[in-house]
Amino acid sequence: MESIKKLSYQSSLFFHFVSKKQTVYIISLCVIMLIFSILAITFGSYGLSIIDYLLGKTSQIQNTVLTEIRLPRVILSGLAGASLGISGAALQGLFRNPLADPGLIGVSAGAALGATLMIVLGGDLFSQNSLGIFFIPLAAVAGSSLVIFMLYFMTKGFGYEGVTYMLLVGIAINAIAGVGIGILTYISSDAELRSLTFWTMGSFGGVTWPLLLPVILIIIFSIMVMIPYARQLDLLQLGEPEAYRLGVDVQRLKYVVIMTAAASVGASVALSGMIGFVGLIVPHLTRLLGGVNHNYVLPGSALMGAALMIIADLMARTIIQPAELPIGLITSAIGSPFFLWLIFKIKKL
Amino acid sequence: MSISAKSISLNLGGKKILKDISIEVPSGEILSIIGPNGAGKTSLLNVLSGNLNAYNGLVSYNNIPLNNISIQERAYTRAVMSQFQSIAFDYSVRDILEMGWLDYNFERIQEDLISFQQEIIEECDIQNLIDQKFNTLSGGEQRRVHFARALIQLWQPLNTEDQKYLLLDEPFSNLDLVHKVKMMNSIKKRASSGTGVLMILHDLNLAYSFSDKIVILKNGKLVEKGKTKNMLSAKLLARAYETFISIDDNPINIRYY
């Protein structure tokens, strides 16, 4: 056995099993995302030009709007879209179920409950502690991890037979989290209530660099950890016993996907609130575009999620300018009919 | 060299599935496990493949205890084809075949894979299926694709002589006459070039005309094991299957009533 150069799947080259066509799609998505970002930075209730900024022709106030308001907002919307997209894709692969979505199975609700708990009950912690700003993201990650572990144990390790069961568990978890958030809303003070209300509707507004930095780190780290497991997720589609026979440490794969999905969804929910259906739609669009293998679907979903979220956020803040639509409203309005269509298409649930 | 199991006992959910079974799959030989439903044949295969580990006894690959072999190394040593469930996403047949390709971290892996795939694809007669969606194939076609995938998993670099093993659970189910013969020939070809083969079979005539050794299981116990010609006894088979059995020797024809 020494004669074989052995290496784990994780170390396989990134584009190892990605076709040329898929490489083109990934690069195009990258370009589209960048174009959308530039558009999103340029347009808004306050007109800006990146070219002027680079040439130094902008005023002090324009600079501040660009670097302190517009840029963090675009980065957050992109990261939130990327994290929801890739987590949806990875969870769908892990559950071997095209209907898995961080929102549907209660992961986002768990994150929301965690964050709400921190907003309402942890108020003193923020003001007295310099690390206070990390507490909301951490609480959200804890909430989402808790939900995913509950799902894991209740569905006996995400067994394929437990698909309907899993979605029902998700509904129950969503309801429980709703009750928790309701109670917390009820006991919150006026100031807390205000921040809670805006937060639960989902918005990328009001984000600042100190809040954003830990989220950037968590989401990018999660994505970097997740992508090398793409081939193992492909093998998992043959069934857990088969994946194992092909050399996949299934248990480890499950924990990695669960933890990274929970961490990145938790982090994005902590800052932007619950944004429905992105984690469901984006992986499907990505698969429709270029194929089902995870080496393509994972990075593709991250890029497509980022691009769509950036443009959706631009729409949210320009359609009824200068007022702003909640982003969650837009994604749900587009996503729920898509979800219905998907259910009719699959039917075999 | 062999895959061997020594005094394996297995309990699942309070039920004794396997009781003190020892078998050996030597390289270059075809060993068939036969026995009535519920005899523990598939469980024994799962123990040998490493999928079930709550057993008592010792499983070893090429004289190395299974516990000392990493999950990846096991994949290099044995390929398994079992009964399959459907796949949730629209993978193409090509995707499924590529799943059998273990990572050897070679430089020009793509070309290597493609030329090797081509041989296997012709051997398994799936040229016309290669760009179709796996889930649209018939049961027999899916079996052939999975068989091809298992063969691809057994690929090894030139100038290496590792002993490899093929574990097959009902490989011929759903196959038509022609493809049954083709798959039998493929399996024979592997065995004659040194691969150890273990098969679970229900068709006794197939098992007896095709295997070097036969193992008979019943109720989780080993009834008898040995060279095929020594196992050709109507009495023995009648004991295992609890039915009337008659045998014509030349050509071998086992009839059951």
pLDDT in tens, A253-276: 888 888 888 888 888 888 888 788
pLDDT in tens, B137-173: 998 999 999 999 999 898 877 666 778 999 999 999 8
Contact state of A249 with B71 under an 8 Å Cβ cutoff: yes
CB contacts of B103 in chain A (<8 Å) are 7-9, 11-12
Closest by CA position to A121, among listed A179, A177, A189, A202: A189
**Is the bond leading into A322 cis (omega within 30 degrees of zero)?**
yes
* C-alpha torsion sign, points B139, B140, B141, B142: positive
For residue A8, the model assigns a pLDDT of 37
Shortest Cα–Cα distance, A7 to chain B (Å): 6
Contact between A4 and B160 (Cβ < 8 Å): yes
Least confident of A19-33, A268-282, B42-56, B126-140: A268-282
For residue B117, the model assigns a pLDDT of 80
Across the interface, which of B85, B99, B105 has its CB nearest the CB of A5? B105
pLDDT in tens, A35-55: 999 999 888 777 777 777 777
Q: To probe the interface with A, which of B59, B60, B71, B163 has the most A CB atoms within 10 Å?
A: B71
What's the start-to-end Cα distance of chain A, in Å?
Answer: 44
Contact state of B90 with A292 under an 8 Å Cβ cutoff: yes
Q: What is the amino acid identity at position A258?
A: I
Closest by CA position to B208, among listed B39, B2, B23, B34: B34
* CA distance linking residue B138 with residue B149, whole number of Å: 17
CB contacts of A8 in chain B (<8 Å) are 72, 103
Q: Is B87's Cβ below 8 Å from some Cβ in A?
A: yes
For residue A211, the model assigns a pLDDT of 82
Q: Is B27's Cβ below 8 Å from some Cβ in A?
A: no
pLDDT in tens, B223-244: 999 998 888 888 899 888 888 8
Closest by CA position to A269, among listed A220, A318, A313, A204: A204
B31 strand-pairing partners: B198, B213
**Is the bond leading into A326 cis (omega within 30 degrees of zero)?**
no
What DSSP string describes B210-250? Answer: H-SEEEEEETTEEEEEEEGGGG--HHHHHHHHTS-EEEETT
What DSSP string describes A7-68? Answer: --GGGS-TTTT--HHHHHHHHHHHHHHHHHHHHHHH-SSS---HHHHHTT-S-HHHHHIIII
Written as six digits, the tokens of B150 are 């298992």
- CA B12, distance to chain mean position in Å, is 23
What DSSP string describes A133-187? Answer: GGHHHHHHHHHHHHHHHHHHHHTTTT-GGGHHHHHHHHHHHHHHHHHHHHHHHHH
Least confident of A114-118, A197-201, A249-253: A197-201
User: What does the angle CA B146 – CA B152 – CA B153 come to, to the nearest 5 degrees?
Assistant: 90
pLDDT in tens, A151-194: 777 766 555 455 567 778 888 888 998 899 889 888 888 877 87
| Architecture (CATH level 2) of domain B2-256 | 3-Layer(aba) Sandwich (3.40)
Q: Is B158's Cβ below 8 Å from some Cβ in A?
A: no
- What is the band of B105 on the pLDDT scale with cuts at 50, 70, 90? low
Region B249-254 average pLDDT: 79
Residue ranges per domain, chain B? Answer: 2-256
Residue B257 neighbours by CB under 8 Å, 6+ apart: B243, B244, B245, B246
Of residues A166 and B253, more confidently modeled: B253
Written as six digits, the tokens of A336 are 């729920």
Q: Which residue of B has its CA nearest to A247?
A: B72
* pTM (2 d.p.): 0.86
For residue B253, the model assigns a pLDDT of 83
Contact state of A292 with B89 under an 8 Å Cβ cutoff: yes
CB contacts of B106 in chain A (<8 Å) are 5
* CA distance linking residue A270 with residue A217, whole number of Å: 14
Burial of B36 (0-12, 13-18, 19+ CB in 10 A): middle
- What is the band of A132 on the pLDDT scale with cuts at 50, 70, 90? low
Shortest Cα–Cα distance, B233 to chain A (Å): 36
Written as six digits, the tokens of A176 are 């429980």
Residue B224 neighbours by CB under 8 Å, 6+ apart: B215, B216, B231, B236
* CA distance linking residue B226 with residue B23, whole number of Å: 10
* CA distance linking residue B143 with residue B174, whole number of Å: 8
For residue A129, the model assigns a pLDDT of 61
Shortest Cα–Cα distance, B77 to chain A (Å): 8
Region B206-223 average pLDDT: 91
ipTM comes to 0.90
For residue A160, the model assigns a pLDDT of 47
For residue A3, the model assigns a pLDDT of 36
Is A7 a residue whose pLDDT tops 60? no
| Architecture (CATH level 2) of domain A40-346 | Orthogonal Bundle (1.10)
For residue A221, the model assigns a pLDDT of 94
Residue ranges per domain, chain A? Answer: 40-346
Is A29 a residue whose pLDDT tops 90? yes
For residue B107, the model assigns a pLDDT of 53
* CA distance linking residue A301 with residue A319, whole number of Å: 26
For residue A223, the model assigns a pLDDT of 94
For residue A305, the model assigns a pLDDT of 95
pLDDT in tens, B49-85: 998 888 899 999 999 999 999 998 899 999 999 887 6
Q: Is B148's Cβ below 8 Å from some Cβ in A?
A: no
Contact state of B160 with A3 under an 8 Å Cβ cutoff: yes
Is B95 a residue whose pLDDT tops 90? no
For residue B87, the model assigns a pLDDT of 84
Across the interface, which of B77, B78, B91 has its CB nearest the CB of A292? B91
* CA distance linking residue A21 with residue B36, whole number of Å: 50
Interface of B with A in 222-251 (CB under 8 A): none
For residue A349, the model assigns a pLDDT of 43
Say what percent of chain A tops pLDDT 70.
86
For residue B212, the model assigns a pLDDT of 93
Q: Which residue of A has its CA nearest to B69?
A: A1
- Mean of the per-residue pLDDT values of chain A: 82
Least confident of A249-253, A254-258, A309-313, B114-118: B114-118
- Mean of the per-residue pLDDT values of chain B: 88
Q: Is A238 helix (H, G, I), strand (E, B) or coil?
A: coil
Is A77 a residue whose pLDDT tops 90? yes
Is B197 a residue whose pLDDT tops 90? yes
Burial of A275 (0-12, 13-18, 19+ CB in 10 A): buried
Contact between A95 and A163 (Cβ < 8 Å): yes
Burial of A11 (0-12, 13-18, 19+ CB in 10 A): exposed
Q: Is A241's Cβ below 8 Å from some Cβ in B?
A: yes
